[in-house]
Amino acid sequence: MANPALPIYSDQVPRVVSSNGLSLREDILLTDAKGRQSDSSRKKAEAVLEKWKDVLPSLLEPNETIFYVVKNCQAPVTPLEQFFLGIYAYGATATAMVLTNLRIIHLGVTGRGKWRRILKSVRWGDVSDARVKGWMGKVLDLKYASGKKDRYWKIRGKDAKKIRAILAAVLPASRAEASAAQEIVSLCPDCRAVLTQKIYHCQGCRLTFKDEKTLLKRTILIPGGGYLYAGYTTLGVISLFFEGLFLIEVILYMLMASGMTHPARQQDGSFPSQGDLWATAGIFLLILALRKSLEYLHGRRIIRTFLPQNRAGQI
């Protein structure tokens, strides 16, 4: 375990302070990118802590000290997912990151920074390599002891410098402290138990999470239902309109092709053939199926991060 008073900056004395039930490294958290005292840096950090004051005390372990909080960055996402999600990739991957003497804590948030109760963490001893890269847009590349890799992206310049300084000190001090997980794990937001992939309930406190079977049913049966179930409200509303439109077209052309309703005349005054009507219905059905497939894949990505079902007394 890295010492809470582990030196980070050569010209700064480590200062561990307590505030609102939290143990903090004042010399890292409340200073500028170079570790110097700064009123603006202090105010910004205090604002971030104020925002998370009701969440962080319950997440931290008894011997855990916060080194730094990254207010917002983007969680790992494949290039293909980012391409198809477009601008919505930013809301889908929005993350706050807390670096402590023990681990990195990943908090999945909405585009506006509200915690979605998605919680992950990785012990420093389970990180075999970590590097901050990039010129214009900074990224944090993590390689775990298991061999898996992750890339957090869209990291601000100041945050990148802070992370780099912390990594340089913490990783060498934690080399011999690998856990059984050997990589980042999802945790229950209520009891902090480690969650098992594709098992959508906590075996510790029985908290339930949204699951892939329900996602598939809603994607197939409800226009935009997959996006809405996964919490992509804007995408869900847009898909509700377009999928509904394509579905109406499919039904309409199938009715005309089967002779249950009469098609409109074409420009030359003739009626379209039955084959053309079936072909048109097939094209609309194919477009609808492709949209549904993407909707399911996008929804499955967030479902697999363990999105809790709301229940009485929960935020």
Please give the full DSSP string across 235-289, using - where no structure is assigned: HHHHHHHHHHHHHHHHHHHHHHHTTSSPPPP-TTSPPPPHHHHHHHHHHHHHHHH
Q: What is the mean pLDDT of the chain?
A: 91
Number of Cβ within a 10 Å radius of residue 176 = 6
Percent of the chain with pLDDT over 70: 98
The three-state secondary structure class of 203 is: coil
> What would the pLDDT profile of 22-32 be if each residue is shown by its tens digit?
999 999 999 99
For the ranges 139-153, 265-279, 290-304, the lowest mean pLDDT is seen at 265-279
Predicted pLDDT at 87: 81
Over residues 217-223, the mean pLDDT reads 96
Q: Give dist(CA 38, CA 32) in Å, integer.
A: 6
Report pLDDT for 6. Answer: 92
Burial class (CB in 10 A: 0-12, 13-18, 19+), 197: exposed
Distance CA 109, CA 216 (A): 23
Average confidence (pLDDT) over 263-292: 87
One-letter amino acid of 285: L
- Kindly tell me if the per-residue pLDDT of 312 is higher than 50: no
Mean pLDDT of 287-291: 93
pLDDT at 1 over 90: no
Residues 52-59, mean pLDDT to the nearest whole number: 92
Class of domain 16-187: mainly beta
Average pLDDT over residues 108-131: 94
Taking the whole predicted model, whether its pTM rises above 0.75 is answered as yes
So what's the pLDDT on residue 69? 96
> Residue 59 pLDDT > 60, yes or no?
yes
Q: Helix 274-303 to helix 212-221 angle, to the nearest 10 degrees?
A: 150
Confidence band of 272 (pLDDT split at 50, 70, 90): confident
Please name the residue that has the structure tokens 């598939």: 216
- According to the model, what pLDDT value does residue 314 have? 40
Where along the chain do its domains lie? 16-187, 212-303
